[in-house]
Structure 1
């Protein structure tokens, strides 16, 4: 009798999550009002809050996002409104001792000629460098996850007479736990960074009676991006309604949309 022995090889990946030890101390968004041919200086303040030394990469990427929740970090020059060519970092790699704090400096060299007024931007990526090492205690590989930061560098050029152009992409009602949410997709089709708020005025369809006004959080919108502005309407009873959605930016520029809403009893 031939005995067959089946060897089952099981490869186990041990995922070890490393709590981020690098923190950014001076904010994740830096704004500059710029002029042709001028040089502007900035800095990113970092600290290693951990108990071990940490290497950190610093580099530039383009950045955008959509209302469906996707975020894109792409190579420089992917975005036609990228300012990556304007920015020069003083280093691309640093090593921080435990508890050490340091500053990474950058310069913004604005071109002598810029074709179009508006907002130009990119992000400085701060990424801890972690080695993938074999484990002596367990079979397989230890995979370490790290948290990286994206610091927006937003430059506004000749924007005094530039107005935002907001477009409503979608309106839908969704249930989230015990809340009923109107999700309004708003795109910034203009050339100017802005911070709109979405408001909805709801009227009973049969009587025309106004039943309430509700608002979203204020959120930032870069040019050629979109976000979902969520409005809680949990207080509205199930029925059919007419509504006016108004998106208003910080300068009181307003964009309106008439919609029909049906709040279902679900």
Structure 2
């Protein structure tokens, strides 16, 4: 996130150290809850700078898609946002060099037994850039200062029972690379619970003989979001192949698709 300060003229880059203030611990906090439950947690902060550093804390909705795009919307706008369930304190904190501090948060799940599946939002921790004086310039030309603002997004997830799991394979492409073939698959979560999927493919030749199982990457996908999976198939000769692709959630939710592949 870049903040532009000044007017047209000389360009001076003033990039803050990404680690001036860091969030200690996991950036995803997941809670298994029921209607009416209350959960509490904390976000630990540490100042790594030689100067005092200030951060502001606020909420955001969050979605992502397989093309790499991310959306940080107003809190509470998504159908499955839990931003309204969450309160936190403080909303701004200044840390001295070497100091640690804590953001406390509380999530109150509505007493609504119609709730089912996964609900999520983000608590954002964003560095407040310190004002920096402009350097003197002999010809008194105006200058521009660019401050790079670093922020952390902590995902707060509430998982309730009863949600439906559903996955759609929306795109596949076989890509020839220098080190071999790569099967690229986009998958969309059109269910009600978040999925933490590992994807693999078993490859068969034209005679139906298996050529092995090839493991791809693991991705977590919220409802209404999509993600890209890459499975390296190694170097294969030209010809017709079949692949059985499996996305495994590590529980009873397993999804599959079968593809005919042509290697030229």
Q: TM-score, normalised by structure 2?
A: 0.89
Aligned counterparts of 2:42 and 2:73: Cα–Cα separation in 1: 22
Aligned counterparts of 1:50 and 1:179: Cα–Cα separation in 2: 45
Aligned residues of 1:133 and 1:141 also touching (Cα < 8 A): no
Aligned counterparts of 2:251 and 2:61: Cα–Cα separation in 1: 27
Which residue in 2 is equivalent to 1:240? 240
Aligned counterparts of 1:178 and 1:141: Cα–Cα separation in 2: 45
Deviations 1:165-200 (A, max 9, x none): 111011112355645321111111111112111111
Aligned counterparts of 1:57 and 1:104: Cα–Cα separation in 2: 10
- Give the number of aligned pairs: 252
Aligned counterparts of 1:237 and 1:19: Cα–Cα separation in 2: 49
Deviations 1:122-167 (A, max 9, x none): 000010011454522455122111221100000012x1x4341111
Q: Which of the pair is proportionally richer in strand?
A: 2
Which residue in 1 is equivalent to 2:73? 74
Deviations 1:45-86 (A, max 9, x none): 010111111110100100011011111111112210000000
Which residue in 1 is equivalent to 2:249? 249
Aligned residues of 2:30 and 2:156 also touching (Cα < 8 A): yes
Aligned counterparts of 2:58 and 2:177: Cα–Cα separation in 1: 38
Which residue in 2 is equivalent to 1:85? 84
Aligned residues of 2:197 and 2:219 also touching (Cα < 8 A): yes
Q: Secondary structure at the match of 1:212?
A: strand
- Match among 7, 13, 16 for residue 14 of structure 2: 16
Aligned residues of 2:119 and 2:158 also touching (Cα < 8 A): yes
Which residue in 2 is equivalent to 1:109? 108
Aligned counterparts of 1:187 and 1:90: Cα–Cα separation in 2: 35
Aligned counterparts of 1:123 and 1:66: Cα–Cα separation in 2: 17
1:119 aligns with 2:118: yes
Aligned residues of 1:203 and 1:210 also touching (Cα < 8 A): yes
Aligned counterparts of 1:120 and 1:224: Cα–Cα separation in 2: 11
Aligned counterparts of 2:119 and 2:74: Cα–Cα separation in 1: 15
The structure-2 alpha-carbon separation of the partners of 1:52 and 1:134, relative to structure 1 and needing over 3 Å to count, comes to closer
The structure-2 alpha-carbon separation of the partners of 1:184 and 1:143, relative to structure 1 and needing over 3 Å to count, comes to same
Gaps of 5+ in 2: 1-7
Aligned counterparts of 1:135 and 1:240: Cα–Cα separation in 2: 65
Which residue in 1 is equivalent to 2:166? 165
Deviation at 1:232, TM superposition (A): 1.0
Greater CA drift, 21-30 or 210-219: 210-219
Q: Greater relative contact order (Cα 8 A, min sep 6): structure 1 or 2? A: 2
Deviation at 1:227, TM superposition (A): 0.3
Deviation at 1:11, TM superposition (A): 2.6
Which residue in 1 is equivalent to 2:259? 259
What's the Cα RMSD here? 1.8
Aligned counterparts of 1:232 and 1:141: Cα–Cα separation in 2: 46
Aligned residues of 1:240 and 1:262 also touching (Cα < 8 A): yes
Which residue in 2 is equivalent to 1:4? none
Gaps of 5+ in 1: 1-9
Which residue in 2 is equivalent to 1:223? 223
The structure-2 alpha-carbon separation of the partners of 1:17 and 1:83, relative to structure 1 and needing over 3 Å to count, comes to same
